[in-house]
Amino acid sequence: METIVFFDTKPYDRDSFDPLNTSFDLRYYEDKLSPSTAPLSAGCKAVCAFVNDRIDRKTIDALVKNGTELLLLRCAGYNNVDIKYAEGRLTVMRVPAYSPHAVAEHAMALTLMLNRKIHRSYIRTRDHNFSIAGLTGFDLYGKTAGIVGTGKIGRVFADICNGFGMKVLAFDTNPDSSLKNVSYVSCDELFGESDIISLHCPLTKENRHLIGKKSLSLMKPSAYIINTSRGGLIDSEALLDALKAGTVAAAGLDVYEEEGDYFYEDLSGDIIDDEVLSLLVSLPNVIITSHQAFLTREALSAIADTTLANAKAFFDNKTLPTENVVCIGSDRNETKNRIS
């Protein structure tokens, strides 16, 4: 029986993987995967990592030295992995889709909470302050939503926006002509015309800081920015400046570009050594959740099911789904022949 070593695990990981596992010895560690923790996987052929694990050259070297052949990502994104360096050394597999509804619904939850000031109202009423002064929002009906990225999650978010009676603009490098009630436009046009701007694209070298000084300058002062994708899509300092200056109205962030040292940890008794994050958290027109958009029972079950299926296909020398394979390891020709 092969062992899979899990890094950066929380109780919900055990709760979702253990009931579905029938083929592997699962070993869980709370530590994030890094060069210093990679030795925990010594002698094991498979490692399972998450979004904030650091899988750079040193980590990959350590894993290969340990005898690791398969890196399983229990997420869709892989910007935290040095893929070029892993190519030919480790087979890397991911979960390309788990529950697009979970993430899209969280994006709309952030939008609604910001707009109707529900977070502020909640705090007030707990103190028996029932004043509604300063809590005025606006109707989403008739407003314009701008969606960057129309993959599975972006499409679900578009449907949700359509349900609210919103006009939907979209930008994607690969437009989907089958989408109804969605108009594709340039990024600049989307930024300039949208009331709600929601990001649903992977992070690449090309789109890092897609939201920066230039794009922020194009937006309406009343615009809301929602990010449930990857933190690096937004220049956090530029966003903070825009929020303080009032050139954009609000931000709902489930991700943050420097989140690796903070998200998923209880730091309530610590001083956060990140001035930008501390200031963003303190603003009344910003809501930050700690990369939890995926966190539904359905999504966790789908992540576990696909991750275990990836491992089983790899070790049973079965066909590997093309969409799940990020790169292939040392036995390149043999693995290529197994990708469908």
**153 token code pair:** 């999650």
pLDDT at 131 over 80: yes
| Band (332; pLDDT cuts 50, 70, 90) | low
Contact between 173 and 210 (Cβ < 8 Å): no
d(CA 208, CA 223): 21
Place of tokens 């825009």: 242
Per-residue model confidence as pLDDT tens digits over 249-277: 999 999 999 998 899 889 999 999 999 99
For domain 3-98+296-336, give the fold.
Rossmann fold (3.40.50)
pLDDT for the residue numbered 311 = 97
Identify whether the C-beta of residue 170 lies closer than 8 Å to the C-beta of residue 182: yes
CA distances from 225 to 158, 236, 319 (A): 15, 12, 41
| Residues 235 and 211 sit within 8 Å (Cβ to Cβ) | yes
Residue 297: the pLDDT is 96
DSSP E strands: which ranges in 232-324? 250-253, 286-288
Q: Which of 151, 142, 143 is nearest to 103 (CA)?
A: 151
Question: Could you give the C-alpha distances from 6 to 48, 49, 173, in angstroms and in order?
Answer: 5, 6, 34
pLDDT of residue 225: 98
- Percent with pLDDT over 90 in the chain: 92
CA distances to 50, 101, 234, 312 from 273, rounded to whole Å, are 23, 34, 20, 42
pLDDT above 60 for 333: no
Find the DSSP H helices in 246-325.
Answer: 275-282, 297-315
Q: For residues 274 and 288, is the Cβ–Cβ distance under 8 A?
A: no
The verdict on whether 54 is a catalytic residue reads no
What are phi and psi for residue 257, nearest 5 degrees?
A: -65, -25
Average of per-residue pLDDT across 102-107 = 98
Q: What is the homologous superfamily of the domain 100-288 according to CATH?
A: NAD(P)-binding Rossmann-like Domain (3.40.50.720)
- Specify whether the CB–CB gap between 4 and 28 falls below 8 A: no
CA distance 151 to 139: 27
pLDDT in tens, 133-154: 999 999 999 999 999 999 999 9
The 10s digit of each residue's pLDDT in 275-326 is 999 999 999 999 999 999 999 999 999 999 999 999 999 999 999 999 999 9
pLDDT tens sequence across 66-84 = 999 999 999 998 999 999 9
Does the annotation count 119 as an active-site position? no
Catalytic residue among 200, 291, 298, 323: 291
The 10 Å Cβ neighbour count of residue 119 is 14
Q: Is residue 339 scored above 80 in pLDDT? A: no
* CB of 24 closer than 8 Å to CB of 2: yes
Name, in order, each residue with C-beta under 8 angstroms of 186's C-beta and a sequence gap of 6 or more.
171
**What is the distance between the alpha carbons of residues 128 and 76, in angstroms, rounded to a whole number?**
43
Catalytic residue among 69, 105, 257, 259: 259
Question: Nearest Cα to 296, choosing from 158, 119, 106, 48?
Answer: 106
Q: Give the containing element (helix H, strand E) for 46.
A: strand 46-49
Q: What is the per-residue pLDDT for 74?
A: 97
Q: Which DSSP string corresponds to 125-193?
A: HHTT----TT------TT-EEEEE--SHHHHHHHHHHHHTT-EEEEE-SS--TT-SS-EE--HHHHHHH
Residue 184: exposed, middle, or buried by beta-carbon count in 10 A (0-12, 13-18, 19+)? middle
Residue 111 DSSP class: H
Give the active site residue among 54, 155, 209, 230.
Answer: 230
Residue type at 88 in one-letter notation: G
Q: Which residue intervals of the chain bear CATH 3.40.50.720?
A: 3-98+296-336, 100-288
